[in-house]
Amino acid sequence: MAINTVTLGLFLRIGDTTKETCPPLNTTRPPAGHPMKKINLKQILVHPKKPLKIHVIACAGHLSAPLSLSLKELGHQVTGSDQEKIYPPASTLFKRNKIPINESSLTSQTDLVIVGTAINSFEKLKKEYQKAKSLGLKTISVAKFVATVFERKNNITIAGAYGKTTITALITWVLKNLDLNPSYMFGTPTLDIKKSLKISASDWSVLEGDESIHGLDTKAKFLYYPKKYVLITSTYWEHKDSYTTSKENLKAYQNLVKQIPPDGCLVINKKDPHAQSLKKLCRAPVIFYNQTKKHYQTHLLGQHNQENIDAVFALCLHLGFKKQSIEKSISQFRGLKRRLEKLGEHGNIVFYDDFAQSVPRFDSALEAIKNKYPKRKIKVFFEPHASHLQFKKNLRKLKTAFRKSEEVVLAKISFSQKVKKQERSTFKSYQEELGNKIKYIPIYPQILKHYQKTLKSGDLLLHFSSGGAEGLETLKKIINYFK
């Protein structure tokens, strides 16, 4: 399905009750005096003769920030809003590309309002969304917008608790090297693909499908996304803030599999405990990966990345791509930013940065590092950012995950008023799991001083963090100190 047939006749319209070709928008009808205007999505995908005025609420997210840039590059007038203080890399991206943030207010002339996942985190963003509705503006969640704009003849969606960013980026890399010019979206830039999101006119799209539920969405993001070819790495219950039980979490994956058309396919990790039951729900061919240990030539560290590559191979071979072409792309792929990214080696101390925020990811990252550097003492600088880490029940098995580390420095622990006091994670909760190897240092300048005093030749410092300018800046200062 080429661009003209994908987008022709698709419209964003508040209160539309016609048969849906794309996910429905906000169904609140505008007040009197605000007529509904149609927006042809064809304008989104090609350089428009008349650019749309698009405003992105909660624009600094991992998805909404690169989407804002992509829309501007397509020729649209893009503005955004978020919390008062926006940090790199989003702030840098907006400034470099001259996208005004927190500078303009919504008016009746705004053509479209895209709502990011963090809208419920800040009162000012909630008020702005209410203003958009009162003005009768067309509003759509970022997940539904992506689902609509990225619909193609050949949709690939990668889901699972871990590995999906690497797999999505790798499949995108393979398709790019085959000159298929896919549209794509994944969580972070790679060392080879500098932008994590692109909208193209290709028949191919590759999407990282998260199972979390945030913002305006009422179900897993991957349930909004187009899906012909689906790859599932793990049904592990990671987002306990989105699902109260493992059964609810599994149901999201069951619904995903049920939506795969007969001419698509499901590629799934053979070792997932629910692989066989999901197979029975699928109307399309099912392909298992990770059935035996294999070794692929790659720059990527760890057995978990060998499994990720096996998944890529399984899907790409099914799609009819030549084995040699797949192998060549994989061998050239240098990896993702902030996924076991080596930042340098100074004074015989090695520094790595990683995005991990869950037990399986901690475990696989530390396993990979220990296999690569068996004689080094591994010290961990851990920032517990993920919302599910605010629940002490989610800290179980941390002892096993961190078994290969000599020391863990825990940065500031955040908590939400929504989490009951008796259920909240505290330093004591972490200490019960990790014992004497953990140190709680909630003030970043003191973390810097700690490592200045204690890091020695032969050590390796591994940083676990899903973002936050202060922690990344502290890591940078630590590295600079030893240069």
Q: Are 286 and 236 part of one and the same domain?
A: yes
Question: Do both 305 and 355 map to the same domain?
Answer: no
Q: How far apart are CA 193 and CA 89, in angstroms?
A: 16
Average pLDDT over residues 239-248: 89
Where does residue 22 rank: exposed (0-12), middle (13-18), buried (19+ CB within 10 A)? buried
Is residue 95 domain-shared with residue 159, that is, in the same domain?
Answer: no
Task: Verify that 93 and 9 share a domain, yes or no.
Answer: yes
- CATH number for the domain harbouring residue 9: 3.40.50.720
Comparing 29 with 357, the larger pLDDT belongs to: 357
- Per-residue pLDDT tens over the stretch 33-87: 444 455 565 556 555 667 899 999 999 988 999 999 999 998 899 999 999 888 8
Least confident of 6-10, 175-179, 188-192, 207-211: 6-10
My answer on whether 246 and 222 are in the same domain is: yes
Residues 198 and 66 in one domain: no
Question: For 317-338, how does the pLDDT look when each residue is reduced to its tens digit (9 = 90+)?
Answer: 999 999 999 999 999 999 888 8
Burial of 270 (0-12, 13-18, 19+ CB in 10 A): middle
- Final residue of a structural domain among 146, 170, 194: 146
Q: What is the pLDDT of residue 337?
A: 81
Decide which of 146, 161, 186 is a domain's last residue: 146
Find the domain containing 306 and state its range: 150-332
Alpha carbon of 363 to those of 167, 169, 288, 382: distances in Å? Answer: 18, 22, 23, 13
Residue with the bigger pLDDT between 11 and 103: it is 103
Single residue among 118, 146, 174 that ends a domain in this structure: 146
Whether the pLDDT of residue 140 is over 60: the answer is yes
**What CATH number did the domain enclosing 157 receive?**
3.40.1190.10
CATH code (residue 360): 3.90.190.20
pLDDT at 467: 73
Do 195 and 59 lie in one domain? The reply is no
How does pLDDT run across 457-475, given as a tens digit for each residue?
999 999 998 877 889 999 9
Kindly state whether residues 370 and 419 are assigned to the same domain: yes
| Residue 294 pLDDT class (50, 70, 90 cuts) | confident
Together in a domain, 272 and 238: yes
- Count: domains in the chain: 3
Residues 6+ apart with CB under 8 A from 127: none
Q: Are residues 182 and 216 in the same domain?
A: yes
pTM higher than the cut 0.85: no
Cβ within 8 Å of residue 384, ≥6 positions away: 357, 410, 411, 413, 414, 425
> Are residues 210 and 286 both part of a single domain?
yes
> Can you tell me the distance from the alpha carbon of 19 to that of 79, in angstroms, rounded to the nearest whole number?
31
Are residues 393 and 434 both part of a single domain?
Answer: yes
* pLDDT-derived band at 355, boundaries 50, 70, 90: confident
